[in-house]
Chains A and B, each alone.
Chain A
């Protein structure tokens, strides 16, 4: 069972649909082992902070990164970014009006129109 604090899940999660998309893009990039996604937060974007997403097959650096594995995909979060992402679920929104990868981040007090930038 995931650790929770004040009802917030103390980890970063990935939905099954997002995990399938990560695997799909990883396969297209020729990544077959250690399929994962590196998630980070950078300064910038309309609201101050922006998400950075990279599909990877590289191993985890446990000194600087935290890792959660769900649905066969490693979600790797750089430790400095972790405080902005605790409780976040990475989902995928498809279809004609879909936004692609979507972050459901409980820490975000405000987000910009395109959803890639937020403030805490």
Chain B
């Protein structure tokens, strides 16, 4: 895919390629951007995320039959995180499903739009459903941080981590669909608009106190808050229970593709490995792909490393065999003799198992 320029690059001098987009790596400096997103409000151009529009009476019904979470009862304005899985229970993608009344919006991982369309299309037999990719004809900003709700004039009520809510609001004279979807335990709003309105919305929020956040700080937020990404942590090599997506699995809603496998893994405690949040004893030199060891034996692999240390601590994510995935445990790192990784917690970005 050709690189697409982020339209919102004011002040940025260093760029990185992410998901086929050329994105500002840093607008001002890493530390202040990270601080804004985690303690104030950071604004980030997240247009690289996939956006699908599903039209037809059977959208929620089909999605309910094909994915892990219960989406059939979502009222207009409500949403849920759900996982499309193969019949072997492997991850095709993690979706944010938002009911808009006359249609359903599906938020996909970057670049996964066509794979999701193809998967849904394969099982659309009699259903009234048309799914179209509207990524290129919309812009999506992410407003992240505890002050995000206040900047949008919204109540800062906490919603469950596997939930989304949406409402139409007006910003800088333009109609915007504001979709609240927590980023781990952090407040986050997706702001979806037409591309020509995005620059005005971006400036409006900066004028009200939001700080532009580049790809580097946003990567650090994702890793530090234990949110997996398609590629390093999500995809067909993994099932939702390994990937910490248990909060987006409804074990009582009935059948969906892959349900039998996922239910068996849970019932018989057969999950082989878990995604965990890690902190490293060094501030640099750790890379995705490094093995995690116990007494010289490989027990896991590092999948993501934050681009920089925050508060003097470098963090990451990794898959560790179930027997060694114990919070508090220290593991050696294959590429570094005098460094170790501590397991901080299981990564559960959509919360723990439902009651």
Contact = CB atoms under 8 A, between A and B. Distances in A.
A54 interface: no
Contact of B258 (A46, A49, A50): A46
A83 B124 CA distance: 14
Contacts of B123: 42-44, 48-49
A42 B64 CA distance: 12
Contacts of A9: none
Interface string B342-355: 00000000000000
A80 B260 contact: no
A84 B122 CA distance: 13
Given A45-B257, A46-B259, A112-B255, A40 B87 contact: no
Contact of A119 (B62, B87, B126, B255): B87
Contacts of B65: 42-45, 50
Which of B65, B122, B257, B260 has most A Cβ within 10 Å? B257
Interface string A32-54: 00000000111111111110000
A46 B127 contact: no
Interface in B242-299: 255-261
A-side binding surface: helix, strand, loop or mixed? Answer: mixed
A41 B259 CA distance: 18
Contacts of B257: 43-48
A43 B66 contact: yes
Nearest to B86: A48
Contact of B126 (A40, A45, A47): A40
B255 A45 contact: yes
Nearest to A40: B126
A42 B66 CA distance: 10
Given A42-B65, A44-B62, A80 B255 contact: no
A97 B65 CA distance: 26
B66 A47 contact: no
Contacts of A80: 125-126
A55 B312 CA distance: 67
B298 to A, nearest CB: 33
Contacts of A45: 65, 255-257
A44 B125 contact: no
Contacts of A44: 62, 64-66, 123, 255-257
Contacts of B261: 46
Interface of A: 40-50, 78, 80-81, 84, 110, 112-114, 116-117, 119
Given A40-B126, A43-B120, A43-B257, 15 more contacts: A40-B125, A42-B125, A42-B127, A43-B65, A43-B123, A44-B257, A45-B65, A45-B255, A46-B256, A48-B257, A49-B123, A80-B125, A80-B126, A112-B255, A117-B255
Interface of B: 62, 64-66, 87, 120, 122-127, 255-261
19 contacts: A40-B126, A42-B65, A42-B125, A42-B126, A43-B65, A43-B122, A43-B125, A43-B257, A44-B62, A44-B255, A45-B257, A46-B255, A46-B257, A47-B87, A47-B257, A48-B87, A48-B123, A49-B125, A113-B260
